[in-house]
Each structure stands twice: as structure tokens, then as C-alpha cells.
Homo-oligomer: A and B are copies of this chain.
Amino acid sequence: MKRIVFMLIAAVILACGVVFTNPAAGRANEKAAPTYGIKLPPGYRDWKLISVAHEEGQLNDIRAILGNNIAIKAYRDERLPFPDGTIIARLAWRYVPSEENNRVFGRPQSFLAGPPTNVQLMVKDSKKYAATDGWGDAQFEDGKPDDTALLKTCFPCHEPVKARDFVFTRYAR
């Protein structure tokens, strides 16, 4: 059972491409991700914050979820499904302890964003991505799109949150 669980985790990590490297601030990439033809949007590093999260295990990252203006407006208006043009960007960094902060706190308790690991995008286009309920996915490592055909398997993982238009992240008030 434990083995199955780990294989499942590995499958999810590979399939949903949760470990990729994010590029320098605002750097756009001209290369399109192969599966959905999505490019890294210019200025995404400047987008507004949706929420933050931490993944343990093999991911071992701390992440910020940002949204373009269409995404942010939809979140704040609690509008579902998300309108076409919505782009949600997940930026992740290696999860690292902060010795500097821990000295101030007097105990090991502080964890920060280390080196960048990944950027994932969810792009809403109800016509273009009709086959995947209107969402196209992309993954970028150091600004370069992920080549794997496994990207196609991202979508099924989002099925449990179909009621929220397949988006896991909730807006942090």
C-alpha cells in the first residue's frame, strides 16, 4: 500500500510537473510550452497575490500563487467559472530553514524561499482548451517550457475541485 502511495505521488509529481524552476523576475520566454502552446507571460512576477502554500515531501517547496488582473477580479468577485483570459501562476522555491531568523527567535522555526524550483500556469480559454474544460496548463523551468507529454495528465488531478472550476487555490483574504 505504501509502495502504491509513493508511486502515486511520483506519478502526480511527474504528471503535474510540480517541480520546475521559475525564471528571473518578469522574464518572458518566447518558447511556447508544447502541449498547450502556452508562453510565459511577460510581467507575471509582478502579478497580485492569490495565496501562499507549502508542500512537504519530494516537492519540499514554498510557493506563491499569483494571478493576472482577470484572475484576481474573478477571485474577489467569487466568480465561477473563471472567465476566459484568466491566468494563474504558481511560483515555487526550495523550502529552506533560516538560521538567521532562528537565532532571533531562539529556536528553529523559520523557513524561507530558497532557490527557485518551478513556475506552473493555468490558462483559461474555453474554446482553445475545450477538451480540458477550458484550462490549458504549462510548466516552466528556468524560463524554459517543460517538454514532457506528461503535461497532458495535469488536468485529471484537478477533477476533485471541479466545483471550483478545477482550481485548488483559494484566495487568501
A interface with B by C-beta (< 8 Å): 5, 8-9, 12, 22, 24-25, 45-46, 48-49, 51-57, 59, 62-64, 66, 76, 91, 93, 95, 98, 100-101, 103-113, 116, 157, 160-161, 168, 170-173
CB A47 to nearest CB in B, in angstroms, measures 8
Q: Is the interface of A mostly helix, strand, loop or mixed?
A: mixed
Number of copies: 2
CB A101 to nearest CB in B, in angstroms, measures 6
Indicate the member of A45, A51, A107 with the most B CB atoms within 10 Å.
Answer: A107
| Contact A9/B110 with A62-B53, A76-B25, A93-B172 known, Cβ cut-off 8 Å | no
Please determine whether B100 and A168 come into contact, CB atoms closer than 8 angstroms.
yes
